[in-house]
Structure 1
Amino acid sequence: MSDPQNTVTLWHATTSSEKPGRIEACCESWLDQDEIVRADRFRKSTSRNQHVVGRGMARRLLGDEAVTPNEIQFAHAVHGKPYVVRPDAAKQPFNVAHTDGLVMCCVGQDRHELVGVDVERLGRRTDPELAQRYFSQPEIDFLQSKPEGEVRRDSFLRIWTLKESFIKAIGTGLQTPLADFAFVDIDSDQPRIELLNPKLQSDMSWQFFSIEPRQGFIGAVAVACRQNADEVRVDLRSFDDLVV
């Protein structure tokens, strides 16, 4: 039986491309004024809706039953990664990602030091030059072993989401060069990371998961625990079913 205390929950939600719907309205009711002001700066309805749902999901899921969503206060680290300031009951590692009307929120447990998540739509256009410019050599070799066309594009997105999940987990974003680390066993459900830059090495143990949260999407989850941690389990759930 899996340990509930070693489970990372990955929630996914559908957002509207135009007029806000039920989920957007519910999530917006949980936001503070600063978050609403920021949401109103988005010109495109799709971007605004994704922002609102992402922040609303985080508030609802971090509070769970112990804290009301409106009570939670966030701050941002140096490179912009949000974290909970108060209350203590909501201080769990979390991360949000969105693309093309799909929003995902990953929530870890106390034993998980860091979590990161990313998602992309399969089949989207990719630039092969990005791999040559930003990926590590093992990843470039992996891509070149794939047949040109859809298979190679989707393999690129698999690597890209894995890399994004890692830099989002550590909170540095693209300040960390993507060639400073490489993924191996990329075709598996649980790829492994090789930290090529000694500055990235620490006493944490990393686990990664490639997932398809919904048909037509590829995502990745990064989880960091202290050394000798047990195997993490990812529990995929629909936020659409939670908001009634």
Structure 2
Amino acid sequence: MATYLEIPVGEIVLGRKPCPGCGSADHGPPALLGPGTPRDLSISHSAGLAMLAAAPFPVGIDTEAVRDIPVANISGNVLTPRERLSVLAEPEGIARTKAFLRCWTRKEAVLKAVGIGIVTDLTLLETRAWSEGPAEVTVDALVAPSTWRVADVPVPEGWAAALALPAAAGRDVTVRHL
């Protein structure tokens, strides 16, 4: 990260930005607090895979390890009706779990980019994970922008990952393995 930001390692100060909902720094999104840089950060880790997204605009990243998840039992609480239909159309087992995690990581990436995390009704956030390629997702949130572009991130077998950035950013994403 120090090389990318062109900042000596000893000068990097990580912390949190204020929560866009309530203003508290106790649970706001991760932030690069010093030295001054125009970069926003998002961090995610799951079962041995860690990811960091840095951009000159709000960004969100999420990764999840593929594992046994009771998809049929929890999908009604976190997926939109169309997402649920798509996920439950997959055969039980790994295919269904991967479809669920594709929706989940997209949702969490968008909410991290917005800066609010999972404090909203996830059944209202549709990620269009059933279609190939990036999707535009609109969030009814307290902060701008409200429309985000979310896409899957290539990761090793055994994980799912997604990245969200403002739809207006109009930039391609570079993934670097460190």
TM-score if structure 1 supplies the norm length?
0.62
- Structure 1 residue 235 displacement after superposition: 1.2
Q: Is the helix fraction higher in 1 or 2?
A: 1
**Is the contact between residue 102 and residue 129 of structure 2 (CA under 8 Å) also seen in structure 1?**
no
- Structure 1 residue 152 displacement after superposition: 0.9
1:183 equivalent in structure 2: 127
Q: Which runs of 5+ in 1 are unaligned?
A: 1-57, 240-244
Of 134-143 and 203-212, more deviation after overlay is shown by 203-212
Tell whether 2:15 aligns with 1:75. Answer: yes
2:24 equivalent in structure 1: none
Give the 5 Å matches for 1:58-97.
58=1, 60=2, 64-65=5-6, 67-76=7-16, 77-78=18-19, 79-88=27-36, 90-97=37-44
Shift in alpha-carbon separation, 1:200–1:144, aligned structure 2, 3 A: farther
Task: Give me the identity figure in percent.
Answer: 25
Report the AA paired with residue 30 of structure 2.
Answer: P
1:36 equivalent in structure 2: none
Q: Alignment length, in residue pairs?
A: 169
TM-score if structure 2 supplies the norm length?
0.82
2:99 equivalent in structure 1: 155
Task: Give distance in 1, aligned partners of 2:42 and 2:132.
Answer: 23
* SS at structure 1 position matched to 2:62: strand
Give the 5 Å matches for 1:89-238.
90-108=37-55, 110=56, 112=57, 114-122=58-66, 124-128=67-71, 129-195=73-139, 198-199=140-141, 202-224=144-166, 227=168, 229-230=169-170, 232-238=171-177
Task: Give distance in 2, aligned partners of 1:138 and 1:201.
Answer: 26
Larger radius of gyration: 1
Q: Compare relative contact order (CA 8 Å, sep 6+) and give the higher one, 1 or 2.
A: 1
